[in-house]
Structure 1
Amino acid sequence: MSQVHAMSDDQVAGELKKMTAFIRQEALEKADEIRVKADEEFAIEKSKLVLQETSSIDSSYEKKFKQASMSQQITRSTVANKTRLRVLSARQELLDRLFEDANKKLKDVSKDKGKYQGVLKNLILEGSYALNEDRLQVKARKADYDVVKKAIEEAQKEYGSKVDKEVTIKIDESNPLPEGSSGGVIVVATGGKIDINNTFEERLRLLETDALPSIRVTLFGDNINRRFHD
């Protein structure tokens, strides 16, 4: 099953890798712009504080100096927090756009019928192994029925040879996937109470959840919390 899962994830992850280079560069440029703006704001705030405190220095100089130092620390912390939030917001916008673009690209996978049939076979096999029942149904887009039928035939043969047990798989034509779906299948046990959602949209959602930490490292590299508090 791990080989099947890897093939499905690679199909989606391939599109993500194509966008990584320019998305990462854009993220770095945006972060640099925000940091420059933050330095300017801090310099202005610091100048104001120095002018205010210098004009009012008197016999209590030591006390006022400590107050000024504390004010600068507060100002630095405030500016750093504001900058951190701006960078986080910019990064999240880039990540959202990345997965939106990937979702649009998913529909292109079904255009190559030969490759698409192989992907469907593996998705059906994965569901069959997980459910481990003699009779299963597959939900798919009506437009995919022909290629799904061929994928089912291949999946049934491979399933029988691997587990030495036959499985009967049929298309649930009474409940097809929406035509607006990007593709893939849902494998359903006979009773209809248990299913394995192997649609492209669901696989991308799982990838977004599971791979998001490594994607952040790939795109942005550093630890933002440490960066703005050191």
Structure 2
Amino acid sequence: MSHVHAMSDDQVAGELKKMTAFIRQEAEEKASEIRFKADEEFASEKAKLVREETSAIDTSYEKKFKQASMSQQITRSTVSNKTRLRILSSRQELLDSLFEQGSKKLKEVSKDKGKYQSILKNLILEGAYALAEDKLQVKARKADFDLVKKAIEEAQSEYKEKIGKDVSISVNESDPLPEGSAGGVIVAGTGGRIDINNTFEERLKLLETDALPSIRVTLFGENENRKFHD
């Protein structure tokens, strides 16, 4: 018959204490492991959120920068265009003013009789050379008839000297140029169907058209037509 040794209360308490300590240690280790994993997941999630937020901020900044840059370019282009139009408008105003002044001064040319007669002769000759006909008529202001007749005599002599044949030029006294005209003549041939308008007003119009490029170069420089840069 074997003897079973009964454990004393102290021994039972000691074993329970050991078991409790072992369970507590395992629980603490498990809790520590859970906390570690939680910290890892938190750090990972935090890093992911920071990356996403940083990327979103970068994208937003880039978008806003592009918008600002585009807005700046549009503003610069608008200002440039407005400036260009203002410059072109100012230049046109200057050119209009020049030709307006020229138009006013035209009427002063006929005051110097000697100079005016020479001009009339050259205007009549130009028409005679262009028309190349035997008989021509000249229209002029009534007040210029006497000067025109003298100019015609000179023109006929020079025409014969240069061309080698006679030309008969007469004043059309029945149809004069209006007295408001600045002067000059209209030379007509072939029964009046063809004429050369050499009035001062017409010559100024031709100058305005033909000489305008040269005038622009003189006033505004050779690069007058260059593109305007921002």
Task: Return the TM-score normalized by structure 1.
Answer: 0.72
Q: Where does structure 1 lack aligned partners over 5 or more consecutive residues?
A: 1-56
After superposing the two structures, state which structure 1 stretch, 59-68 or 70-79, moved more.
59-68
Find the residue that maps to 2:196 and give its secondary structure.
strand
* Dislocated runs of 4+, deviation >6 Å: none
Q: Distance in 1 between matches of 2:101 and 2:226?
A: 30
One-letter identity of the residue aligned with 1:71: S
Shift of 1:190: 3.7
Q: Distance in 2 between matches of 1:184 and 1:223?
A: 36
- The residue correspondences of 1:39-58 to structure 2 (distance < 5 A) are 58=57
Q: Distance in 1 between matches of 2:77 and 2:224?
A: 15
* Higher RCO, 1 vs 2 (CA within 8 Å, ≥6 residues apart): 1
**Structure 1 residues 159 and 227: CA distance shift in structure 2, 3 A:** same
One-letter identity of the residue aligned with 2:79: V
One-letter identity of the residue aligned with 2:161: S
Aligned residues: 174
2:157 maps to 157
Task: Return the TM-score normalized by structure 2.
Answer: 0.72
- Aligned residues with identical type, % of pairs: 79
CA RMSD of aligned residues (A): 1.6
Find the residue that maps to 1:197 and give its secondary structure.
strand
Residues 45-89 of structure 1: per-residue CA shift (max 9 Å, x gap)? xxxxxxxxxxxx945111211111111111100111011111111
Shift of 1:136: 0.4
Residues 164-189 of structure 1: per-residue CA shift (max 9 Å, x gap)? 11111000011100101111000000
Shift of 1:223: 3.5
2:169 maps to 169
One-letter identity of the residue aligned with 2:221: G
Q: Distance in 1 between matches of 2:160 and 2:61?
A: 88
Residues 109-142 of structure 1: per-residue CA shift (max 9 Å, x gap)? 1111101111100110110011111100000000
2:183 maps to 183
**Structure 1 residues 162 and 226: CA distance shift in structure 2, 3 A:** closer
Find the structure with the greater CA-based Rg: 2
**Structure 1 residues 225 and 138: CA distance shift in structure 2, 3 A:** closer
Q: Where does structure 2 lack aligned partners over 5 or more consecutive residues?
A: 1-55
1:199 maps to 199
Find the residue that maps to 2:92 and give its secondary structure.
helix
Q: Distance in 2 between matches of 1:152 and 1:214?
A: 33
**Structure 1 residues 165 and 224: CA distance shift in structure 2, 3 A:** closer
